[in-house]
Amino acid sequence: MIKFTIDGMEVEAEEGQNVLQVALDNGFDIPHLCYHEALEPYGACRLCQVEITRGNKTRLTTSCNYPVLEGISVQTGTEKVIKARKMVIELLLARSPNVPIIKELAEEYSVGAPRFTLGDDDCILCGMCERVCREIVGVEAISFLGRGSNRKVGPPLEINPQTCIACGACVYICPTDCIKVEENENERTIVRWGRTLPMKRCKVCGRSFAPWFQLDYFGKITEGIPKGFWDKCPDCR
């Protein structure tokens, strides 16, 4: 086990963990919008910045992609940390002024009207949807497009992504709720990507429960699943 301190409290962590993961597990409140324990750390939103002292050097860095190291000292609420977080929140608020979670952060950190040009984009380019599609689902239906101020997330060539299985993982993990899903008895649509797929009905209760494409894909990548498993909804299995 690796021992280090967070705000003066000694904590233990396993090798390979990151500082944010350990801090959250020990009850420390560090804001973050691009981190999920199931995904590789990315450091996109910059909200999880902390001050880390290692030896005689102290630096401001994102805690989600900083590995735990023996003897380091982590400070989560210094003046420098708060100032950096407030700047990040101000930039996010300028980009996405109508996103509830960003407005809540702005209120919590007493960030007023942004000094920058206001936008109206509910996507903050955190990359969570792209990463869950690539790392967890494995279909890579969406990716980053463009560069600089024109950068966005979407399907290649910005057309209906034929590899999308409409599983809804991107909808679930999006921190700003900018990816919507619409569903009825016959089909499911991932609105932001323009992907609509027919739903499969449970052979026991007759209820629609998932897109055909999703279940076919899961059937191909899983092993040891009983025959007919994907023909039934979770309640009837």
61 and 94 assigned to the same domain: yes
Give the end of a domain, one of 74, 108, 142. Answer: 108
Count up the domains in the chain and report the number.
Answer: 2
The percent of residues in the chain predicted with pLDDT above 90, rounded, is 91
Cβ-count burial 189-206 (b if 16+ within 10 Å, e if not): bbebbebbbebbbbeeee
Confidence of residue 222 (pLDDT cuts 50, 70, 90): confident
169 and 222 assigned to the same domain: yes
Q: Is residue 120 part of a domain?
A: no
Q: Round to whole Å and give the CA distance between 226 and 222.
A: 10
pLDDT tens digit string along 79-98? 999 999 999 999 999 999 99
CB 70, CB 3: distance < 8 Å = yes
pLDDT for 143 equals: 94
Across residues 19-38, what is the average pLDDT?
96
Mean pLDDT of the chain: 95
Q: Is residue 116 part of a domain?
A: no
As given in the structure block, the two tokens for residue 209 are: 């429960």
pLDDT for 148 equals: 87
pLDDT tens digit string along 197-220? 999 999 999 999 999 999 999 998
Q: Is residue 160 part of a domain?
A: yes
26 and 103 assigned to the same domain: yes
Q: In what order do the strands lie in the sheet with 181-183?
A: 181-183, 187-190, 195-201, 208-211
Q: Round to whole Å and give the CA distance between 164 and 205.
A: 27
pLDDT for 151 equals: 92
Query: In the chain, what is the greatest distance between 2 CA atoms, to the nearest angstrom?
Result: 66
pLDDT tens digit string along 158-201? 888 899 999 999 999 999 999 999 999 999 999 999 999 999 99
Q: Round to whole Å and give the CA distance between 93 and 130.
A: 22
pLDDT tens digit string along 44-65? 999 999 999 999 999 999 999 9
Helices of type H across the chain? 19-25, 79-95, 100-108, 128-131, 169-173, 212-221
pLDDT for 158 equals: 80
Q: Residue 198, SS3?
A: strand
As given in the structure block, the two tokens for residue 108 are: 């919590």
pLDDT for 10 equals: 97
Torsion of CA 175, 177, 182, 187, to 10 degrees: -20
Q: In what order do the strands lie in the sheet with 57-62?
A: 9-13, 2-6, 73-75, 49-54, 57-62
Domain containing 48: what range? Answer: 2-108
pLDDT for 150 equals: 87
pLDDT tens digit string along 127-140? 999 999 999 999 99
CATH code of 9's domain? 3.10.20.740
User: What pTM was computed for the model?
Assistant: 0.90
